[in-house]
Amino acid sequence: MYNFSLHQRINSELQNASIDFAGKDNLFYTRFMADAAAINNLYSNLYADHPQADAMFETLLQTIVTAYKKRSDGLKQKDEEKLKKGFWFLSNNIVGMSLYVDRFCGNLKNLSGKLEYLKKLGVNLLHLMPLFESPEGESDGGYAVSDFRKTDERFGTLDDLATLEENLNAEEMYLMIDIVLNHTSHQHKWAKKAKQGEAKYQDYFYMYSDRSTPDEFDSTMPEIFPESAPGNFTYIPECDKWVMTVFHNYQWDLNYTNPEVFVEMLDNIFFYANLGVDILRIDAPAFIWKQLGTTSQNLPQAHTILQLIKQCVNVATPGMALLGEAIVSPQEIMKYFGTGLAVAKECDFAYNATQMSLQWDALATADTRVMLAEQHELLQKPYGTSWITYTRCHDDIGLGYTDAMIEQSGYNAYDHRRFLKEYYSGNYYGSPARGALFGVNPKTQDARISGSLASLCGLEKAIIENNDAAVKTSIQKILLMQALSFFVGGLPMIFYGDEAGYTNDYSYLNDAGKSYDNRWMHRPLINWEKNKRIEVEGATENRIFSATQQLINLRKKITAFADYKNITWLSPHNIHVAGFVREAEDQKMFCLFNFSDREAFVTWYVFKEQGIKSYNLYNHWNKKTYTIGADHEYLIIQPYEFCLFENV
Ligand code: GLC
Ligand code: GLC
């Protein structure tokens, strides 16, 4: 509906800011007018009843205009190029790596010198783990931010970041960083002022004078770190108040019922956009709205906030895609792509945490049925949005898929999860995995899993036992896991170190700021002497690196691997094998993955029922051609082998 006064209001903002409506800023103007009503509606849904609603709406409009004005010409041009491509981020050409700058190479300056290494691997998107100022010692790996606009000295300066950005740009590489939206550190200036008793800033957080409201919240909110940070509130003696701290006691939850908080954080988002960020990872969005009597996760208002952010970004800095880091149940994850009228108008990306954990499920059980059962949900992802696909990241592995899917596959959900936890923590008899349980909740017996890709796949144990056959098997498992996540649809994100087979690093146990958090076991310190071994023929590092490189090359070569909602799962003729078809124009790729330690037999009928144009299958992985046989004959897939067949 055309809203005259709203458009007039925006027009006058634009005039005040000397925006060239008819000339060079015309596209911005058009986008603003097109999205104005949506912005207004979303904002009103959240804040209509707030006493400052109108004044803050004015500030919101100004924030959008200022962000656009501050955007460099180079970035504006890049925005247009991306818009012209249409969904630039769905391409099969992009492969990412997530890394801690300090643990990877010391600081931002050194990182430019490592671009050669990354290019050699084929990585062209860097996710730099939190870089902004955070408390020394305990900072949750930088996810407790004290200043959203100042890089932490450990990493270097904003100028260093800008130089890196230029270098990335010159190499046509993309940049992804985080906005930690849900909380600030207790040392952020807002938190400090709140501590000193300033009411304005106390209202930036959830602060209470006694335990009554906190107790009420606690009665329905789960605990994120039950061992190291039980409960959801922390007592602050300086102001004699309780503050909500869902994560650690040094991470204060921001109060988004206050529109001022929203606008301040939107401004920070634009600050990152104007640094040249291509994908913004919105940390922990499931938590941003709290409500008594609920779990305070995945609430509808959290989605409204994300949609509002998306619309504002669309107007001012449209080249920046949004990734919502919602690691929640599959049904809930799906909603972060937007629902109803907002389908595909919320997050552009979400992590496919479901697929990730299901791959670990299949690897331990040699049974792919639970993974397959969950796909009907995952296939609902709307066109124009995408997954970040991954096997490991800096966090733990949660087994958050649905009980019903486990039970549908004939298992008892509780026993099944207990088996997986025992298997990966190495407590199950005969398990080659070396991981650990994380976030064990003594009340519910819930737990998640820590450990590096290599250690969980058995490499650590195999090396200690000097067992070549076991080393070989573990490498096959690593590649099987990576291949599936590279080809299943979405943007693959490698976790640094995994390309060179890093096993767990136990040195965190000697650091008081880390020892209580075993996620540090899988956040390695890169040793570049070790990484040189990627060049040593036959070395473990070399075998893993060169195979990963080959997988990336294949992905970039084959357009059917772009994420255009072009996946069909094969019907399960053998429970050990997961398979799907990826199609583009006249190209048809059959990808099959054997999760068992034995040869798997797959009837050739599997291919025929999907329609084939000839009887030839070329396996891009081992470069052999296979002939499709009679229905009663079989394709034999080796233990932990995968096939990337093109029907040629
Ligand atoms: C996200 C991060 C995790 C962090 C949490 C709190 O889940 O990935 O590492 O602990 O948010 O910021
Ligand atoms: C947040 C993340 C989840 C992680 C947890 C602790 O809840 O969403 O992935 O398990 O933090 O790391």
79-104 exposure pattern, b = at least 16 Cβ within 10 A, e = fewer: beebeeeebbbbbbbbbbbbbbbbbb
Which residue in 206, 141, 205 sits closest to 178, CA to CA? Answer: 141
What's the whole-number mean pLDDT along residues 326-354? 96
Closest residue by Cα to atom 4, ligand 1, is 143
Residue to mutate, 134, 281, 323, 395, ligand 1, most ligand atoms under 8 Å from C-beta: 395
Closest residue by Cα to atom 12, ligand 1, is 143
**Ligand 2 atom nearest to 519, measured from its CA:** 12
**Which alpha helices (H) appear in 148-221, and where do they start and end?**
158-170, 189-195, 199-202, 212-218
pLDDT of residue 52: 96
Long-range contacts made by residues 77-84, C-beta under 8 angstroms, separation at least 24? 78/319, 79/317, 79/318, 79/319, 80/27, 81/319, 82/318, 82/319, 83/318, 83/319
Closest residue by Cα to atom 9, ligand 1, is 395
What's the whole-number mean pLDDT along residues 463-489? 98
Q: What residues act catalytically?
A: 283, 325
pLDDT of residue 2: 57
Tell me the CA–centroid distance for residue 288 and ligand 1, in Å.
Answer: 13
7, pLDDT greater than 70: yes
Which residue in 308, 310, 301 sits closest to 273, CA to CA? Answer: 310
Tokens 């490499």 belong to residue: 459
CA dihedral 302, 305, 310, 316 (to 10 degrees): -160
505, pLDDT greater than 60: yes
Residue to mutate, 182, 327, 393, 448, ligand 2, most ligand atoms under 8 Å from C-beta: 327
Retrieve residue 212's tokens: 């009554």
Residues in the chain: 648
Residue to mutate, 99, 103, 143, ligand 1, most ligand atoms under 8 Å from C-beta: 143
* Structure letter (DSSP) for residue 245: -
Closest residue by Cα to atom 5, ligand 2, is 224
pLDDT 10s digits, 372-388: 999 999 999 999 999 99
179, pLDDT greater than 60: yes
Nearest ligand (C-alpha, residue 223): 2
Retrieve residue 282's tokens: 């919105």
Tell me the CA–centroid distance for residue 244 and ligand 1, in Å.
Answer: 16
What's the whole-number mean pLDDT along residues 507-523? 95
- For residue 284 and ligand 1, the question of a CB distance below 6 A is answered with yes
Which residue in 59, 61, 58 sits closest to 32, CA to CA? Answer: 61
pLDDT of residue 137: 84
Total Cβ atoms within 10 A of residue 581: 20
pLDDT of residue 586: 84
Q: How far is CA 90 from CA 170, 245, 358, in A?
A: 21, 36, 23
**Ligand 1 atom nearest to 183, measured from its CA:** 12
- For residue 286 and ligand 1, the question of a CB distance below 6 A is answered with no
pLDDT 10s digits, 198-248: 999 999 999 999 999 999 999 999 999 888 888 999 999 999 999 999 999
- For residue 225 and ligand 1, the question of a CB distance below 6 A is answered with no
Q: Please state, in angstroms and rounded to a whole number, the distance separating the CA atoms of residues 480 and 457.
A: 10
pLDDT band at 1 (very low <50, low <70, confident <90, very high): very low
Summary mean pLDDT of the chain: 96
What's the whole-number mean pLDDT along residues 486-505? 98
Q: Can you state the angle between helices 369-378 and 353-365, rounded to 10 degrees?
A: 170
Contact 78, 89 (CB under 8 A): no
Tell me the CA–centroid distance for residue 278 and ligand 1, in Å.
Answer: 20
Tell me the CA–centroid distance for residue 110 and ligand 1, in Å.
Answer: 26
Beta bridge partner(s), residue 243:
207, 234
- For residue 423 and ligand 1, the question of a CB distance below 6 A is answered with no
Tell me the CA–centroid distance for residue 395 and ligand 2, in Å.
Answer: 7
277-314 exposure pattern, b = at least 16 Cβ within 10 A, e = fewer: bbbbbbbbbbbbbbeeeeebbbbeebbbbbbbbbbbbb
- For residue 259 and ligand 2, the question of a CB distance below 6 A is answered with no
Tell me the CA–centroid distance for residue 143 and ligand 1, in Å.
Answer: 6
Residue to mutate, 134, 185, 283, ligand 1, most ligand atoms under 8 Å from C-beta: 283
pLDDT band at 442 (very low <50, low <70, confident <90, very high): confident
Retrieve residue 76's tokens: 């504006």
Q: Please state, in angstroms and rounded to a whole number, the distance separating the CA atoms of residues 55 and 255.
A: 18
Tell me the CA–centroid distance for residue 396 and ligand 1, in Å.
Answer: 10
For the chain, give the percent of residues with pLDDT over 70.
Answer: 100
Q: Can you state the angle between helices 353-365 and 413-424, rounded to 10 degrees?
A: 80
Tell me the CA–centroid distance for residue 284 and ligand 1, in Å.
Answer: 6
**Ligand 2 atom nearest to 247, measured from its CA:** 11
Phi, psi of 94 (to 5 degrees): -105, 130
**Ligand 1 atom nearest to 519, measured from its CA:** 9
pLDDT 10s digits, 397-428: 999 999 999 999 999 999 999 999 999 999 99
What's the whole-number mean pLDDT along residues 491-508? 98
**Ligand 1 atom nearest to 143, measured from its CA:** 12
Q: Please state, in angstroms and rounded to a whole number, the distance separating the CA atoms of residues 37 and 58.
A: 14
Cβ-in-10-Å burial (0-12, 13-18, 19+) of 39 comes to buried
- For residue 247 and ligand 1, the question of a CB distance below 6 A is answered with yes
Q: What residues contact residue 22 under an 8 Å CB cut-off, 6+ apart? A: none
Retrieve residue 89's tokens: 């981020």
